[in-house]
Amino acid sequence: MVVNTKEVTDKDFNIKRLAEELRNLSFKDHICIGCGICESSCPVSAITVGDMGAIIRNNSPQPKLVIDEHECVLCGICSGVCPADALTFSIANQPISEIPAYPKYNADVEIDDDKCIYCQKCEIACPREAITIARSLPDRSKLVTGEIEIAEDTCVYCGICEELCPADAIDVDRTPEAETINVDKDKCVYCLVCKKSCPVTAIKASCRICSYGDYDINLEDAVTKGSSFIDDELCIKCGWCEGVCPTEAVKVKKPFEGLLKIHQDKCTACGTCVDICPCDVLSFPKPAKSGDIVDNVAKEEQYCIKCGACARACPVEAIEVQISNVDYIPTKSKSWSEKFEALKN
């Protein structure tokens, strides 16, 4: 007898069949975008995607999709067509994305470290929090240099310099008979505010930059260094990172081309699509000035991946998503190629 087993952990699950080779279909709920592509591609109708609007808005304990392990034949098509990699199918512990016989999407994202200035705009814009930009700033004391000295015999420890210092570099202890004053030269930016404000002229300070200008700075000391990391599992190739990057360091290759149409006349502005969109494409527009009439829902189509999750969840069919081209690497399997081709509508 050949039977499938199912292990469920919270909202995630694994469906396995162990015979000639171990076949395993694994589902990760937090990655699933609820687009329903797996449901419509499954050759044995074993997949049911839940009511995404209710699941997302109520933070439901229900998983986004359910697979009947008795119906599932572990072919892996759902995993192949999943645009979010929420379903991973592996044979003998090797994911099919690494097995050449299986077709897969041509999708990619890359940050060019030579161009990246570590501004972190992509990290902030990423709707899936898939990007981490780690950076180490230049040493501030190397960017501004100068000299500062306090004549303790003249200083009256009034604390005016400490209060005014914009860099928090001065520390004055005003305990009677035990007064001290200290300047942290790593923090001091030689702005000379302390010198100008000292009522007893106890501070002598000068800024080298004022005398020598920018020539005094070693350019290498002024560079911010860092590294970028993209979590491939979470990344959905929406292109926000590419769109916001000021140095064109990011390149995103999306698998689908197509159109996102919103029928404003049908839309009831319920906001389900806004909540569901994994790419932060949809939003409620704000009128420029009071009294202006705006659309019910606005779109930033350049960041849309045409997954169709919004159209599927819209209760009044006000959204249409058309896929005109699917970029995938076909293999000899006609049935699999047909499944990829069938995504076009």
Partner 1 sequence: MPKHIVSGLKYLATIELKKKGLTQQKIADELEIDRSTVSHYLNGRNISFHCINVAETMTQLSSKDFLILTHSLFKNAEITQKIISICQSKVFKAEVLDTCIGCGLCVDLCLMQAINLEYLKANINSIKCCGCLLCQEGCPTNSIKVLEV
Q: Which residues bind partner 1 (CB under 8 A)?
A: 2, 17, 19-21, 23, 43-44, 73-77, 101-102, 331-336
Q: Is 216 helix (H, G, I), strand (E, B) or coil?
A: helix
Residue 103 CB, nearest distance to partner 1 (Å)?
A: 9
Please state, in angstroms and as integers, the Cα–Cα distance from residue 164 to each residue in 29, 198, 206, following that order.
53, 10, 17
Residue 85 CB, nearest distance to partner 1 (Å)?
A: 20
User: Please, what sign has the CA dihedral across residues 122, 128, 129, 130?
Assistant: negative
Residue 307 CB, nearest distance to partner 1 (Å)?
A: 23
Which C-beta is closer to partner 1: that of 45 or that of 182? 45
67: β partners = 47
Residue 224 CB, nearest distance to partner 1 (Å)?
A: 48
25: β partners = 15, 89
For 87, how many CA atoms within 13 A lie in the half-sphere containing its CB? 29
Task: Tokens for 14, please give them.
Answer: 């694994």
Which C-beta is closer to partner 1: that of 42 or that of 183? 42
Residue 100 CB, nearest distance to partner 1 (Å)?
A: 9
Residue 27 · residue 50 · CB < 8 Å: no
Which C-beta is closer to partner 1: that of 105 or that of 303? 105
For 252, how many CA atoms within 13 A lie in the half-sphere containing its CB? 22
Nearest-angstrom CA–CA distance, 277 and 184: 50
Which C-beta is closer to partner 1: that of 100 or that of 291? 100
Which C-beta is closer to partner 1: that of 246 or that of 330? 330
